[in-house]
Amino acid sequence: MYQKPKIGQIELDGWAVLAPMAGVSDLAYRVIARRMGAAMTTAEMVSAKGLYYKNEKTREMLKIDPGEHPV
Ligand SMILES: Cc1cc2nc3c(=O)[nH]c(=O)nc-3n(C[C@H](O)[C@H](O)[C@H](O)COP(=O)(O)O)c2cc1C
């Protein structure tokens, strides 16, 4: 019987997931990838230093659309 892939408690709808791509996988790209069948997406790399210094562009990169989980 087909078992859905799981990461911890999170059950995925398929095996195709979006690879992490710095400078590419922003929110709009991830939403499109989910609509096109990606079972899970990965955000861009986010600078810890940017978060520490409360950089607005860095915080913007952490925005996640409510419909795009699991990210
Ligand atoms: C433009 C671009 C940016 C990438 N950025 C990252 C990254 O930030 N972190 C990472 O672990 N891999 C990064 N990768 C590697 C991809 O996640 C992936 O491992 C690679 O493209 C191989 O995928 P494939 O085996 O499906 O061909 C990047 C790849 C591309 C093409």
8 in a domain, yes or no? no
What pLDDT is attached to residue 55?
97
Domain span at residue 59?
14-63
Give the number of domains in the chain.
1
- pLDDT for 38 beyond 90: yes
Q: Which residues pair with 10 in a beta bridge?
A: 7
HSE-CB at 8 with a 13 A cutoff on CA atoms is 2
Please work out whether the CB of residue 16 comes within 6 Å of at least one atom of ligand 1.
no
Whether 47 lines ligand 1, by a CB cut-off of 6 Å, is no
Give residue 3's pLDDT band: very low, low, confident or very high (50, 70, 90).
confident
How far away, in angstroms, is 18 Cα from ligand 1 center? 9
- Confirm whether 50 is domain-assigned: yes
User: Ligand 1: distance of its center to the CA of 45 in Å?
Assistant: 11
pLDDT at 14: 94
Average pLDDT value for residue range 57-70: 91
In a domain, 58, yes or no: yes
What does the pLDDT read at residue 1?
A: 72
